[in-house]
């Protein structure tokens, strides 16, 4: 008999056959039933078929693992949401802030208060990607911008961050991405272990996620493509950045996983098996004030906010979504979300997103229809 996802799988097969990507893997949990689907091949040369357990570079979907990992340290008392992170990273104890967001880096003022773990989890620490043509954006592009993990050691990363002014006062505005890199250093320092060891000990091993971790250099990854001048070309720098064990183990975008692993992680997180219910609720509910959300609205519009390392839908959103839904997407072509009733969708491709307008509608529209079918 056809599975619950059969209509969706037909649509995904058409996406692959159209040449949009060489292959993909998807998984769903609907009404408590779980199914997976793989189509196409690892590259346009059709060298190997895509499989349900194919490993992918998951890019910014790493952030949800990062949130769960950090909150597991809060749950056992190793970290506190409102502690000053300079306790662990003293170099961050004397930061300054640009006098105005477009000021030269030499024109700065003292911070009004410290950066806290909460600031890192909510992306409101005052540092991150500045899409405007400012001196700060030019000075931080090589250090704070994704999708590749930083090409420095964690110690060098903190030292370089400490020499820069913040773009905004801690707590003032949501800024994307690099708070998750800084969080990676904080959790490792707090626990006295590498980020990879923490992922293994606190997430991968206890929850049976055998395909989740940092690259080892032995994975057979799908080829990752990006659209350039109307053609799909291999994203060579991204491929090379995640082709071997990383110098910097990044929870912002450096993890590898599989669709079955990622769906299982989201299911166990949603079902309160990963974190105590109260912390999981905080992670997956809005944590931003209206002024803080202005930074996020520039990227995703007015109907989404941010919890702890995950987006949270607060408004009507797209036709297939609903308030209370949480999840995120990765620039390398990955997307995942959990609905308020516990339904889950996960889609992994290796076609780089061209921007926020890439909403994976080819997956979410039929998935939404499938959820509504009797």
Domains of the chain are 6-62+212-238+247-372 (3.40.710.10), 79-191 (1.20.58)
Answer yes or no: are the C-beta atoms of 241 and 148 closer than 8 Å: yes
pLDDT at 140: 96
pLDDT tens track for 54-76: 999 999 999 999 999 999 999 99
pLDDT band at 211 (very low <50, low <70, confident <90, very high): very high
Mean pLDDT of 79-102: 97
113 phi/psi in degrees, rounded to 5? -170, 175
pLDDT tens track for 142-175: 999 888 999 999 999 999 999 999 999 999 999 9
pLDDT tens track for 224-240: 999 998 899 999 999 99
pLDDT band at 372 (very low <50, low <70, confident <90, very high): confident
pLDDT at 298: 86
Mean pLDDT of the chain: 95
User: Position of tokens 């349900």?
Assistant: 52
Beta-carbon neighbour count of residue 172 at 10 Å? 20
User: Position of tokens 């992680």?
Assistant: 265
Q: Give CA–CA dist 2/209, Å, rounded.
A: 27
Mean pLDDT of 264-292: 98
| pLDDT surpassing 60 at residue 110 | yes
Q: Where are the beta strands (DSSP E) in the chain?
A: 23-30, 33-40, 56-57, 96-98, 108-110, 225-228, 231-234, 256-257, 304-306, 311-313, 326-330, 334-338, 344-348
Helix and strand counts by DSSP (H, E) for the chain: 12, 13
Q: Dihedral sign for Cα 209, 214, 216, 221, please.
A: positive
95 DSSP assignment: -
Q: Which residues contact 214 (CB under 8 A, 6 or more apart)?
A: 195, 196, 199, 245, 246, 249, 254, 255, 256
pLDDT at 39: 97
pLDDT at 356: 65
| pLDDT surpassing 70 at residue 276 | yes
Q: Give CA–CA dist 48/293, Å, rounded.
A: 43
pLDDT band at 4 (very low <50, low <70, confident <90, very high): confident
**DSSP output for 19-69:** TS-SEEEEEEEETTEEEEEEEEBSSTT--SB--TT--EE-GGGHHHHHHHH
Q: Dihedral sign for Cα 341, 310, 23, 216, please.
A: negative
pLDDT band at 358 (very low <50, low <70, confident <90, very high): confident
pLDDT band at 1 (very low <50, low <70, confident <90, very high): very low
Answer yes or no: are the C-beta atoms of 147 and 238 closer than 8 Å: yes
pLDDT at 354: 81
Mean pLDDT of 114-126: 98
Distances (CA, A) of 313 to 177, 179, 239, 269, 296: 18, 21, 32, 17, 12
Mean pLDDT of 3-17: 92
pLDDT band at 357 (very low <50, low <70, confident <90, very high): low
Answer yes or no: are the C-beta atoms of 171 and 84 closer than 8 Å: no
User: Whose CA is closest to 119, among 309, 277, 249?
Assistant: 309
pLDDT at 46: 76
pLDDT tens track for 336-348: 999 999 999 999 9
Q: Give CA–CA dist 371/339, Å, rounded.
A: 10
Mean pLDDT of 257-278: 98
């Amino acid at each position: 008999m056809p599975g619950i996802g059969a209509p969706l799988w037909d649509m995904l097969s058409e996406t692959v056959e159209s040449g949009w990507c060489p292959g993909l893997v998807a998984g769903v949990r609907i009404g408590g039933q779980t199914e997976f689907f793989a189509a196409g091949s690892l590259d346009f040369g059709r060298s190997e078929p895509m499989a349900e357990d194919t490993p992918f570079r998951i890019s910014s979907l790493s952030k949800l693992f990062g949130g769960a990992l950090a909150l597991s340290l809060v749950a056992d008392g190793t970290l506190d949401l409102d502690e000053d992170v300079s306790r662990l990273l003293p170099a961050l104890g004397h930061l300054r802030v640009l006098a105005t967001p477009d000021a030269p880096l030499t024109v700065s003022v003292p911070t009004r208060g410290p950066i806290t773990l909460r600031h890192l989890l909510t992306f409101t620490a005052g540092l991150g990607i500045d899409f405007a043509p400012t001196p700060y954006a030019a000075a931080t592009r090589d250090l704070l911008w994704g999708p590749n993990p930083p090409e420095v050691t964690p110690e060098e990363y903190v030292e370089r961050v400490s020499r820069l002014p913040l773009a905004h006062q801690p707590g003032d505005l949501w800024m994307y991405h690099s708070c998750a890199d800084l969080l990676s250093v904080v959790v490792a320092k707090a626990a006295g272990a590498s980020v990879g060891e923490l992922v293994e000990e606190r997430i991968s091993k206890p929850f049976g996620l055998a395909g989740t971790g940092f690259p080892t250099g032995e994975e057979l990854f799908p080829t990752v493509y990006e659209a350039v001048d109307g053609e799909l070309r291999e994203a060579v720098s991204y491929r090379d950045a995640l082709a071997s064990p990383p110098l910097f183990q990044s929870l912002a975008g450096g993890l590898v996983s599989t669709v079955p692993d990622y769906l299982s992680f989201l299911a166990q997180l949603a079902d309160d098996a990963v974190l105590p219910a109260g912390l999981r609720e905080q992670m997956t509910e809005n944590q931003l004030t209206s002024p803080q959300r202005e930074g996020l609205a520039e990227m995703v519009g007015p109907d989404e906010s941010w919890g702890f390392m995950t987006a949270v839908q607060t408004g009507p959103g797209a036709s297939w979504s609903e308030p209370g839904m949480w999840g995120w997407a990765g620039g390398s072509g990955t997307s995942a979300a959990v609905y308020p009733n516990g339904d889950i969708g996960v889609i992994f491709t290796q076609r780089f997103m061209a921007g926020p307008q890439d909403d994976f509608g080819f997956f979410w529209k039929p998935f939404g229809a499938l959820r509504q079918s009797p």
